[in-house]
Amino acid sequence: MTGNKETFGVLFVCLGNICRSPLAEGIFIHMARQRGMLDRFDIDSAGTGAYHAGERADPRSIRVAKKHGVELVSIARQFQPREDIDRFDLIIAMDRENERNLLGKGAPRDRLRLMRSYDPALAGARGAELDVPDPYFGEGDGFQSVYDMLTRACSGLLVSIDR
């Protein structure tokens, strides 16, 4: 843990902070609460871009979450290098582009991870296989498929932190 704080900080990051990272944040909060572990964490999400700052999550993310009993309360904000690097123990990027941008903004390599690297079914996977695809411009069930990916990864993440 960073500093003297009591909680373990986890920040989920995508590009806009309206589709993928608010969903990851909501799922992780939901799982931690179900397992009675929520008070151990400081959980938030952010975007590398500021285009949607101040907005609620995309209605399609809110809908798929709600269908699975997960509430999304996140308001979009941009990643703030100084404050966020100080506050969070783990910074989790949704794809390799977000990861590159975060490194460019000074995020420390040893506290930066790709979301899908926590999916046990993807052990040994590399490259694009580890990206959570951006569902924003897509059609069809992109949000359901992102939800499924994030659920597997959040579950692996909880196990990895709890060890």
Of 116, 131, 134, 154, the catalytic one is 134
Near ligand 4NP in 25-64, by CB under 6 A: 51-52
Residue 13 binds ligand 4NP (CB under 6 A): no
Give the Cα separation of 22 and 91 in Å (integer): 14
Closest approach, Cβ 138 to ligand 4NP, in A, equals 10
- For residue 139, give Cα distances in angstroms to 26, 135, 142: 22, 8, 6
Which residue's CB comes closest to ligand 4NP? Answer: 16
Which range in 16-24, 26-34, 80-88, 151-159 contacts ligand 4NP by CB under 6 A?
16-24
Applying CB under 6 A, the site for ligand 4NP has a residue count of: 11
Answer yes or no: are the C-beta atoms of 100 and 22 closer than 8 Å: no
Give the Cα separation of 48 and 77 in Å (integer): 9
Cα–Cα nearest to 105, from 41, 24, 43, 50: 50
Residue 43 pairs in a beta bridge with: 10
Give the Cα separation of 156 and 163 in Å (integer): 11
Which range in 8-16, 30-38, 79-87, 119-127 contacts ligand 4NP by CB under 6 A?
8-16
Judged by beta carbon, residue 19 or residue 27, the one nearer ligand 4NP is: 19
Active site residues: 14, 20, 134
Please give the residue ranges that form the binding site for ligand 4NP (CB under 6 A): 14-20, 51-52, 134, 136
